[in-house]
């Protein structure tokens, strides 16, 4: 049994209470939601926490998926399982369902939350790639009120975010536009493993022409990355296998993977290309009402 | 796979499918594992481990740890050295540090321990120990371990000037060279069997309880060999053996990992001696993966000589074996490479030769039988990959090549060119059964169609012969202890029985299988037979469970002790029926008078009579019990034919194992459900090793596989629905003809998976790529850049 160092535990009753606790306890306190990243790191003594603030009682306040005409709002305590099981979310943004099917395992999905996933800022984290793909914005609340940041602003490097010591991520907002669809592709070494590379794609068509497209890649850089050059290459063009391959080549060129036990740099670049191609193919097919 | 089973209400009296007797306690959470042992006043021990792979210890300051309010004791290597306990013998003639005194020699090596009131305090206090190291260059690469410039790891051994561990050879070098010189075709292939870990879900641990008043030591311990451990503790510690009781309670998987004696066990004993209190040590997951016994780690160069039409003439191999920092191999004394000598496989090969060099590196010690029957996994992988390489070169179907070279039934008993006497087999029939179940020809047709469409489908075949049930006392021992096993059977007055065996179950279902063996012999239902094991005070002496030796050795003992009881029962029955022994006929569970089935007594009647006041025949004592000690005459040789079907994604190189057919011949089948369970486990193991498992190190000797997020074990999602089949060729020398099956699938499946992947990649002209075939490694191979994993 791996044993963490001593810590104190507080159970928050509301977002405001969480902020009060954070404010009082200072930088040595950490919020725990699902705990599937934080607790193992504490047990391995890679992270030392003096206070653990458990926000699982905030699920009533922060566990929701609200589909509005021009956006979807997802509460930070919404669990993977709820994202996987939501028919509304799947209809509007099938990328979530694609991703959630391959994130970890049922035990993790039952507890892990979207807010925890994003705040962990693991470079290989799939939901971060999804949110990057979808141009999500994140609502961060502190004593001074709320602020909204983009995904690019949220991430400041591996395991580092813009969420301050006395702040909490409360909501993820995803813009909705008609005429589009999305998809997610992942290669891991085993079910439940972190991605070797994963890739999200969102694409919008007007007739036979791509009006906009975005990709989000995980595990090929310090944070999940959207690659604007891919979007530029796709806009105004008719979808085709050649175009998808060209987009993949750009993704491969612009990403910055490293060699590790999960794979070589060359392989990861290759996957960035291949998965971009596959996700584009699938997302475009979905606009046509087809499932590949 | 059949999903039928006989309900326990209609369970067989003897062999057959029945649910496992031990499972109700496991599924209800009532198992009792090491960490469930709680004793009054029990203290907790935690081990401080080396953060670096190679370094000189300049000083250990324990002051702050000792000042921790809950800490009772802090012990360093220097303190153990004062008591002569800093080093202990390994099972292979080497020594291993209990706690490091001079140097640390692998990352994770034991340096000091803390005993505290609770496990949290013990763990916290480890961080208060200050060890000063002078870091030394690490020997992390086995291929350069013997370079003259390499730092000497084992300078504790007098006169040691290099990292050489041992040389070993087998076979006839001259005859083999002659065969190679005359051959039409020679294929040679380098291949690596990477270092893997048994990774039992229950990590290792112990609770030591020394009673200073009576001088007795009770050790609850995760051991697969409680009796052997007891003797070794007595020999090393000087405690009298009759005052040592080793209890191995429920064990959450062993797979060879729980054969060695680990420093943690010894530290727990020392801690109990010094504190006078019971002391518990339970290692965590990272400790288990980084410091306990690994398996494999063979760098092999193999060659086959053959005629152009595919007749295999000779095999030759050179092996470089990485033994880590201490030679901790658990194998019979005269077998430093385990049973690797069976590398001629299942074929009629006229000449064979192997030369092996083993070296020390700055890695964890071990080299255990990880479900491999002492290195047979490596041997089978070598020959089965080589046969496929030969098929590749000769453009022959790998099945046809195997059929042309398999040993034929009339050749048994067959003595291999390396001196192993295979007891029995009907290899062609076994292979043909696998081909039938798989519809091999249909698979090849499907593959042709898919190849035409650019899809990568592969069909891999392997045929293995195992050598299990170690072993005959003339040949085999572990640290001087003969590898026999005992059994004792007592039938109580009411006809219920207790069987006591020296082997120990770690999930294999002994409590069911051994009850069934006895039931088959004396006709008492398995439900009425309790199997006692895993406690040296409660069971006869024997060497334990590993190398698939439980059914093959202890199973034989169980059958023979039951026959001994039945023989006595026959005498008593003759007195009860007042008829001569010759006129009795045994019908499982009762003796009847020949020609008069109504005149009969059941085994239960006999048991009551034996304990009662009735007449007994001359020279027959009361009670109905017996004891035997079974010394196997030979090993048993289970075998099997495996066929794996994979699909490889041409773009991502992801391998999907789509089908797997396993036909096992383990001789007499006692409980087919348990056999299938064992086979399913081993096949899963094989897929894991072929595709994902490896204990990796960086250039500094840091272990990169210290958690189950890094050391990947396969899950249900990586494996197909297994299709199992069987043939039955009983062992001629085993009392019930059973051969053992526990490790067969682990031994046989890795080459089937790799052969299938290579078969899928034939359009790429690829003949070999090393395990683990992760997507990245395979993709590199597909673009012409196959790299060994070490």
For residue B369, the model assigns a pLDDT of: 66
Rounded distance between C-alpha atoms, residue A149 and residue A155, angstroms = 10
What pLDDT digit, counting tens, does each position of B365-390 carry? 987 767 788 999 999 999 999 999 99
DSSP B406: B
Whether B4 has a pLDDT exceeding 60, the answer reads no
d(CA A60, nearest CA chain B) in Å: 32
In a domain, A93, yes or no: yes
pLDDT-derived band at B6 (thresholds 50, 70, 90) equals very low
Look up the domain containing A265 and give its range: 180-287
- Of A191, A263, A275, nearest to B715 by CB-CB distance is A191
CA A30 to chain centre: 20
Tell me, yes or no, whether A275 and A218 share the same domain: yes
Residue whose entry in the numeric block shows the structure tokens 């029957």? B373
- Of A6, A194, A267, nearest to B780 by CB-CB distance is A267
Rounded distance between C-alpha atoms, residue B593 and residue B577, angstroms = 8
> What value does the mean pLDDT take over residues B455-475?
96
Whether B46 has a pLDDT exceeding 50, the answer reads yes
Beta bridge partners of A148: A139
Rounded distance between C-alpha atoms, residue B320 and residue B307, angstroms = 28
Partner-chain contact B775 A267, CB within 8 Å: yes
B295-306 and B185-196: which strand pairing? antiparallel
Rounded distance between C-alpha atoms, residue A251 and residue B137, angstroms = 40
Partner-chain contact A6 B124, CB within 8 Å: yes
Partner-chain contact A3 B123, CB within 8 Å: yes
Answer with the residue of higher pLDDT: B124 or B9.
B124
Tell me, yes or no, whether A166 and A216 share the same domain: no
In a domain, A37, yes or no: yes
In a domain, A240, yes or no: yes
Alpha carbon distances (Å) from B607 to A176, B254, B668, B742: 82, 37, 29, 34
> What value does the mean pLDDT take over residues A198-207?
97
The backbone region for B269, taken as left when phi is positive above 0, alpha when psi lies in -120 to 50, beta otherwise, is: alpha
> What value does the mean pLDDT take over residues B772-785?
97
What pLDDT digit, counting tens, does each position of B214-239 carry? 999 999 999 999 999 999 999 988 89
What pLDDT digit, counting tens, does each position of B85-106 carry? 999 999 889 999 999 999 999 9
Asked if B707 and B285 count as a contact pair (C-beta separation under 8 A), the reply is yes
Whether B350 has a pLDDT exceeding 70, the answer reads yes
Beta bridge partners of B665: B639
What pLDDT digit, counting tens, does each position of B612-624 carry? 999 999 999 999 9
B282 touches chain A (CB under 8 A): yes
Alpha carbon distances (Å) from B147 to A129, A206, B788: 47, 67, 20
Inter-axis angle of helices B555-577 and B510-522, nearest 10:
30
Asked if B126 and B111 count as a contact pair (C-beta separation under 8 A), the reply is no
Tell me, yes or no, whether A121 and A190 share the same domain: no
- Of B712, B715, B775, nearest to A187 by CB-CB distance is B775
For residue A165, the model assigns a pLDDT of: 92
Tell me, yes or no, whether A208 and A235 share the same domain: yes
pLDDT-derived band at B464 (thresholds 50, 70, 90) equals very high
For residue B151, the model assigns a pLDDT of: 98
Last residue of a domain, one of A120, A149, A175: A175
What pLDDT digit, counting tens, does each position of B500-539 carry? 999 999 999 999 999 999 999 999 999 999 999 999 999 9
Tell me, yes or no, whether A137 and A224 share the same domain: no
For residue B281, the model assigns a pLDDT of: 98
The whole model's pTM is what? 0.97
Rounded distance between C-alpha atoms, residue A218 and residue A200, angstroms = 9
In a domain, A3, yes or no: no
Last residue of a domain, one of A121, A143, A175: A175
Rounded distance between C-alpha atoms, residue A139 and residue B644, angstroms = 51
What pLDDT digit, counting tens, does each position of A128-158 carry? 999 999 999 999 999 999 999 999 999 999 9
For residue B738, the model assigns a pLDDT of: 98
Alpha carbon distances (Å) from B439 to A58, B435, B643, B755: 57, 6, 10, 18
Binding-face residues of B in 617-676 toward A, CB within 8 A: 651-654
In a domain, A292, yes or no: no
For residue B330, the model assigns a pLDDT of: 84
B35 touches chain A (CB under 8 A): yes
B69 touches chain A (CB under 8 A): no
Asked if A218 and A240 count as a contact pair (C-beta separation under 8 A), the reply is no
What pLDDT digit, counting tens, does each position of A208-243 carry? 999 999 999 999 999 888 899 999 999 999 999 999
Partner-chain contact B717 A264, CB within 8 Å: no
Selected residue of B34, B652, B699, B778 to mutate for chain A interface (largest A Cβ count, 10 A): B652
Tell me, yes or no, whether A80 and A125 share the same domain: yes
Asked if B110 and B100 count as a contact pair (C-beta separation under 8 A), the reply is yes
Domain holding A203: CATH number? Answer: 3.30.390.50
> What value does the mean pLDDT take over residues B533-561?
96
Partner-chain contact A271 B715, CB within 8 Å: no
Residue whose entry in the numeric block shows the structure tokens 């099945």? B399
Beta bridge partners of B95: B89
In B422-498, where does DSSP find H-type helix? Answer: 427-438, 440-452
Domain holding A147: CATH number? Answer: 3.30.465.10
For residue B7, the model assigns a pLDDT of: 47
> What value does the mean pLDDT take over residues B647-665?
98
Rounded distance between C-alpha atoms, residue B114 and residue B112, angstroms = 7
d(CA B323, nearest CA chain A) in Å: 23
B117 touches chain A (CB under 8 A): no
How many domains in chain A? 3
Last residue of a domain, one of A109, A141, A175: A175
Which DSSP string do the residues of B596-616 spell out, in sequence order?
EEEEEEEHHHHHHHHHSSS--
From B395, B397, B277, B300, select the one nearest B354 (Cα to Cα): B300
Coil/strand/helix, residue B558: helix
Coil/strand/helix, residue B439: coil
B421-422 and B414-415: which strand pairing? antiparallel
Tell me, yes or no, whether A44 and A106 share the same domain: no
d(CA B196, nearest CA chain A) in Å: 15
Rounded distance between C-alpha atoms, residue B766 and residue B643, angstroms = 20
Partner-chain contact B715 A266, CB within 8 Å: no
Inter-axis angle of helices B398-405 and B427-438, nearest 10:
160
Tell me, yes or no, whether A14 and A97 share the same domain: no
- Of A2, A5, A194, nearest to B284 by CB-CB distance is A2
From A135, A150, A145, A151, select the one nearest A168 (Cα to Cα): A145
What are the b/e assignments for B543-556, b being 16+ CB within 10 Å? bbbbbbbbbbbbbb
Tell me, yes or no, whether A184 and A170 share the same domain: no
Tell me, yes or no, whether A103 and A50 share the same domain: no
> What value does the mean pLDDT take over residues B175-195?
97
Beta bridge partners of B648: B456, B655
B497-501 and B529-532: which strand pairing? parallel
Alpha carbon distances (Å) from A246 to A34, A239, A243, A278, B548: 39, 11, 5, 12, 56
Q: In sequence order, which residues have a C-beta less than 8 Å from that of residue B377 and are 6 or more positions away?
A: B193, B295, B296, B370, B371, B743, B746, B747, B750
From A226, A202, A200, select the one nearest A100 (Cα to Cα): A200
For residue B10, the model assigns a pLDDT of: 58
pLDDT-derived band at A27 (thresholds 50, 70, 90) equals confident
φ, ψ of residue B55 in degrees (nearest 5): -170, 150
> What value does the mean pLDDT take over residues A261-281?
98
Q: Which helix (H) or strand (E) holds B485?
A: strand B485-491
In a domain, A185, yes or no: yes
Read off the tokens for A66: 């609200």
With contacts defined as CB-CB under 8 Å, which chain A residues touch B712? 189-190, 193
A8-11 and A51-54: which strand pairing? parallel
Rounded distance between C-alpha atoms, residue B772 and residue A195, angstroms = 17
Q: In sequence order, which residues have a C-beta less than 8 Å from that of residue A114 and are 6 or more positions away?
A: A74, A76, A78, A79, A80, A83, A127, A172
Complex prediction ipTM: 0.96
What pLDDT digit, counting tens, does each position of A85-118 carry? 999 999 999 999 999 999 999 999 999 999 999 9
B779 touches chain A (CB under 8 A): yes
Asked if B612 and B619 count as a contact pair (C-beta separation under 8 A), the reply is no
Partner-chain contact A194 B709, CB within 8 Å: yes
B714 touches chain A (CB under 8 A): yes
Rounded distance between C-alpha atoms, residue B614 and residue B31, angstroms = 42
Binding-face residues of B in 148-207 toward A, CB within 8 A: none
Q: In sequence order, which residues have a C-beta less than 8 Å from that of residue B261 and are 6 or more positions away?
A: B88, B91, B223, B229, B232, B233
Alpha carbon distances (Å) from A111 to A33, A34, A78, A184, B68: 8, 5, 9, 22, 36
What pLDDT digit, counting tens, does each position of B676-691 carry? 999 999 999 999 999 9
Please, is B156 exposed, middle or buried when counting C-beta atoms within 10 Å of its C-beta (0-12, 13-18, 19+)?
A: middle
Asked if B248 and B222 count as a contact pair (C-beta separation under 8 A), the reply is yes
Domain holding A37: CATH number? Answer: 3.30.43.10
In a domain, A89, yes or no: yes
From B666, B765, B764, select the one nearest B466 (Cα to Cα): B666
Rounded distance between C-alpha atoms, residue A255 and residue A265, angstroms = 10
Domains and CATH numbers, chain B: 8-30+484-630 (3.30.365.10), 34-136+203-251+258-291 (3.90.1170.50), 381-469+635-782 (3.30.365.10)
Q: In sequence order, which residues have a C-beta less than 8 Å from that of residue B523 and are 6 or more positions away?
A: B13, B14, B588, B589, B590, B602, B603
Tell me, yes or no, whether A199 and A264 share the same domain: yes
Rounded distance between C-alpha atoms, residue B773 and residue A263, angstroms = 11
DSSP B718: G
pLDDT-derived band at B9 (thresholds 50, 70, 90) equals very low
Mean pLDDT taken over chain B: 96
What pLDDT digit, counting tens, does each position of B602-645 carry? 999 999 999 999 999 999 999 999 999 999 999 999 999 999 99
pLDDT-derived band at A28 (thresholds 50, 70, 90) equals confident
Tell me, yes or no, whether A108 and A208 share the same domain: no
In a domain, A1, yes or no: no
* Among A278-282, B152-156, B306-310, B372-376, the least confident range: B372-376
């Amino acid at each position: 049994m791996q044993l963490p160092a001593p810590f104190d535990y507080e159970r928050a009753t509301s977002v405001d209470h969480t902020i009060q606790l954070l404010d009082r306890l200072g930088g040595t306190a950490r919020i725990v939601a699902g705990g599937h990243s934080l607790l193992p790191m504490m047990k391995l003594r890679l992270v030392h926490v003096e206070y653990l603030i458990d926000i699982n009682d905030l699920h009533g306040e922060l566990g929701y998926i609200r589909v509005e005409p021009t956006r979807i709002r997802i509460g930070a305590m919404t669990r993977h399982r709820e994202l996987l099981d939501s028919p509304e979310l799947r209809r509007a943004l099938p990328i979530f369902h694609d991703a959630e099917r391959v994130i970890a395992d049922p035990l993790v999905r039952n507890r892990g939350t979207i807010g925890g996933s994003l705040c962990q800022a693991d470079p290989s984290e799939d939901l971060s790639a999804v949110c990057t793909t979808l141009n999500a914005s994140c609502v961060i609340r502190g004593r001074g009120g709320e602020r909204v940041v983009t995904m690019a602003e949220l991430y400041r490097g591996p395991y580092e975010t813009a969420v301050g010591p006395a702040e909490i991520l409360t909501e993820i907002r995803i813009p909705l536009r008609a005429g589009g669809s999305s998809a997610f592709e992942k290669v891991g070494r085993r079910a439940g493993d972190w991605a070797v590379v994963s890739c999200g794609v969102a694409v919008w068509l007007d007739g036979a022409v791509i009006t906009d497209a975005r990709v989000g890649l995980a595990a090929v850089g310090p944070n999940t990355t959207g690659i604007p050059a891919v979007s530029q290459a796709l806009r105004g063009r008719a979808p085709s296998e050649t175009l998808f391959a060209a987009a993949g080549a750009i993704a491969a060129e612009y990403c910055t993977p490293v060699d590790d036990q999960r794979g070589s740099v060359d392989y990861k670049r290759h996957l960035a290309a291949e998965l971009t191609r596959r996700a584009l193919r699938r997302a475009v097919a979905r606009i046509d009402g087809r499932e590949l | 796979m059949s999903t039928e089973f006989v309900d326990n209400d209609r369970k067989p009296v003897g062999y057959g499918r029945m649910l496992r007797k031990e499972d109700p306690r496991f599924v209800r959470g009532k198992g009792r594992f090491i960490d469930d042992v709680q004793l009054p006043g029990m203290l907790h021990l935690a081990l401080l481990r080396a953060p670096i792979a190679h370094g000189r210890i300049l000083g250990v300051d324990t002051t702050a740890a000792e000042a921790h309010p809950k800490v009772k004791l802090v012990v360093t290597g220097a303190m153990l050295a004062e008591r002569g306990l800093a080093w202990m013998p390994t099972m292979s003639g080497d020594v291993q540090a209990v706690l490091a005194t001079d140097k640390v020699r692998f990352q994770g090596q034991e340096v000091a321990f803390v005993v505290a009131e609770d496990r949290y305090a013990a763990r916290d206090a480890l961080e208060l120990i200050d060890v000063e190291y002078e870091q030394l260059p690490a020997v992390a690469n086995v291929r350069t371990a013997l370079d003259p410039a390499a730092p000497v790891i084992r300078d504790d051994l007098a006169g040691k000037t290099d990292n050489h561990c041992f040389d070993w050879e087998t076979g006839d070098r001259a005859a083999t060279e002659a065969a190679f010189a005359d051959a039409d075709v020679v294929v040679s292939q380098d291949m690596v069997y990477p270092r893997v870990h048994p990774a039992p879900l229950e990590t290792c641990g112990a609770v030591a309880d020394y009673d200073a008043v009576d001088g007795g030591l009770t050790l609850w311990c995760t051991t697969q060999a409680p009796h052997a451990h007891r003797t070794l503790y007595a020999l090393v510690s000087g405690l009298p053996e009759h005052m040592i009781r080793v209890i191995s309670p429920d064990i959450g998987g062993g797979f060879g990992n729980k054969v060695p004696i680990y420093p943690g066990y010894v530290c727990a004993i020392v801690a109990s001696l010094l504190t006078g209190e019971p002391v518990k040590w339970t290692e965590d997951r990272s400790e288990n993966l980084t410091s306990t016994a690994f398996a494999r780690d063979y760098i092999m160069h193999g060659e086959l000589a053959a005629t152009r039409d595919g007749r295999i003439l000779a095999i030759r191999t050179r092996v470089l074996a990485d033994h880590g920092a201490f030679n901790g191999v658990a194998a019979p004394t005269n077998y430093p490479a385990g049973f690797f000598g069976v590398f001629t496989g299942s074929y009629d090969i006229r000449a064979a030769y192997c030369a092996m060099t083993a070296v020390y590196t700055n890695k964890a010690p071990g080299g255990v039988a990880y479900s491999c029957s002492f290195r047979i996994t490596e041997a089978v992988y070598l020959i089965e990959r080589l046969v496929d390489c030969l098929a590749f070169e000769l453009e022959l179907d790998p099945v046809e090549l195997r059929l042309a070279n398999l040993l034929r039934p009339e050749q048994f008993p067959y003595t291999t060119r390396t001196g192993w006497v295979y007891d029995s087999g009907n290899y062609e029939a076994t292979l043909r059964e696998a081909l039938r179940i798989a519809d091999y020809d249909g698979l090849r047709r499907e593959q042709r169609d898919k190849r035409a469409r650019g899809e990568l489908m592969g069909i891999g075949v392997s045929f293995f012969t195992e050598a299990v049930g170690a072993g005959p006392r003339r040949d085999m021992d572990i640290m001087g202890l003969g590898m026999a096993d005992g059994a004792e059977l007592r039938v109580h007055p009411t006809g219920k029985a207790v069987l006591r065996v020296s082997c120990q179950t770690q999930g294999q279902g002994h409590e069911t299988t051994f009850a069934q063996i006895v039931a088959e012999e004396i006709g008492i239902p398995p439900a009425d037979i309790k199997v006692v094991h895993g406690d040296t005070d409660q069971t006869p002496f024997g060497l334990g469970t590993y190398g698939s030796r439980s059914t093959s050795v202890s199973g034989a003992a169980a059958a023979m002790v039951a026959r001994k009881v039945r023989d006595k029962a026959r005498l008593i029955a003759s007195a009860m029926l007042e008829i001569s022994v010759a006129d009795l006929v045994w019908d499982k569970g009762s003796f009847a008078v020949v020609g008069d089935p109504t005149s009969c007594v059941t085994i239960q009647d006999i048991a009551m009579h034996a304990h009662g006041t009735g007449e007994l025949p001359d020279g027959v004592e009361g009670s109905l019990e017996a004891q035997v000690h079974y010394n196997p005459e030979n090993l048993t040789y289970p075998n099997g034919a495996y066929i794996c079907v994979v699909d490889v994604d041409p773009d991502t190189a992801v391998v999907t194992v789509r089908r797997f057919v396993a036909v096992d011949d383990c001789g007499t089948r006692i409980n087919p459900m348990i056999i299938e369970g064992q086979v399913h486990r081993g096949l899963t193991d094989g897929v894991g090793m072929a595709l994902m498992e490896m204990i990796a190190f960086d250039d500094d000797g840091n272990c990169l596989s210290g958690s189950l997020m890094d050391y990947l074990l396969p899950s249900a999602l990586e494996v197909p629905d297994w299709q199992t089949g069987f043939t039955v060729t009983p062992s001629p020398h085993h009392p019930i003809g059973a051969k053992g099956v526990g490790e067969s699938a682990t031994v046989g499946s890795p080459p089937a998976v790799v052969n299938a992947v290579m078969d899928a990649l034939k359009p790429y002209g690829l003949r070999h790529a090393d395990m683990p075939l992760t997507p990245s490694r395979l993709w590199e191979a597909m673009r012409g850049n196959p790299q060994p994993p070490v």
